Amino acid sequence: MSLNGSRIALLIEDEYQILEGWYPLLRLQEAGAEVKVIGSGTKNSYTSKEGYPMEVDAAAADVSASDFDAVVVPGGFAPDNMRLHPEMISLVRDINQSGKLVSAICHGGWVLVSAGVLNGKRATGYLPIKDDVQNAGGTWVDESVVEDGNVITSRTPVDLPNFTRAIIAYLSKSNAESSGGQTRSNATDLSGDPAGAEYEVGAKVSS
């Protein structure tokens, strides 16, 4: 399944969980998607809980829902920081209201709670956020991946393969439906070389 033409926002903030940030980034790029790393705008590089940096492509205030087909929210302690920035919450809310894919893993569900995405939805995440999901109107489901309409949620790093497979399957189907069975292929890869999109890494590592 190819994601050529798919534009995905990966939200990032300090203390993100390293696997939940980098695994989706690399796997979705491998599938052909153009992934933009979106930060809160307070700095140009954010550090994981484990001390590994990821540079951003743009601030949330400088992009809009129309720029993307999907958003991915990783976990760690980053979602707690993201919730302090209205622009990040608004981006997720607008993407959801546009009927586009909203996905989150682990504590990333906190951002979906703040954006009002989970009301009436089945969802999962890291077990300690169960009450938050339910208080936001969601129905908690303890499964590796839960898909409800345009919302995909997952639990912890061990579920990352299933999480990214679900995202790829959803977007591949969406691409095929929007192009009458033809996968879109007109997006600009971060590397500037669409032919090599699935082998290029868009995020930059600080030295």
pLDDT in tens, 59-83: 999 999 999 999 999 999 999 999 9
| Separation of CA 189 from chain center | 17
pLDDT at 176: 86
Q: How many Å apart are CA 35 and CA 57, to the nearest integer?
A: 9
197 pLDDT tier (thresholds 50, 70, 90) = very low
Residue 53 in any domain: the answer is: yes
Checking if the pLDDT of 205 tops 60, the result is no
Domain that holds residue 100: 7-179
Contact 107, 82 (CB under 8 A): no
Residue 207 in any domain: the answer is: no
Q: Model pTM?
A: 0.86
Checking if the pLDDT of 168 tops 80, the result is yes
Q: How many domains does the chain have?
A: 1
pLDDT at 196: 34
pLDDT in tens, 104-138: 999 999 999 999 999 999 999 999 999 999 999 99
**How would you classify the pairing of strands 34-39 and 7-11?**
parallel
85 pLDDT tier (thresholds 50, 70, 90) = very high
Residue type, 2: S
At 51, which CATH number? 3.40.50.880
pLDDT at 199: 28
Contact 25, 203 (CB under 8 A): yes
Residue 196 in any domain: the answer is: no
Alpha helices (H) along the chain: 18-30, 78-82, 86-97, 109-114, 130-135, 160-178
How high is the mean pLDDT of the chain?
A: 89
Return the structure tokens found at 71: 């958003």
Residue 109 in any domain: the answer is: yes
Residue 46 in any domain: the answer is: yes
Residue 195 in any domain: the answer is: no
Residue 64 in any domain: the answer is: yes
Checking if the pLDDT of 186 tops 50, the result is no
| Separation of CA 93 from chain center | 13
Checking if the pLDDT of 194 tops 60, the result is no
Annotated active-site residue in 7, 93, 100, 107 = 107
DSSP, residue by residue, 119-174: TT-EE---GGGHHHHHHTT-EE--SSEEEETTEEEE-SGGGHHHHHHHHHHHHHHH
Residue 194 in any domain: the answer is: no
Contact 18, 52 (CB under 8 A): yes
Q: Is 107 a catalytic residue?
A: yes
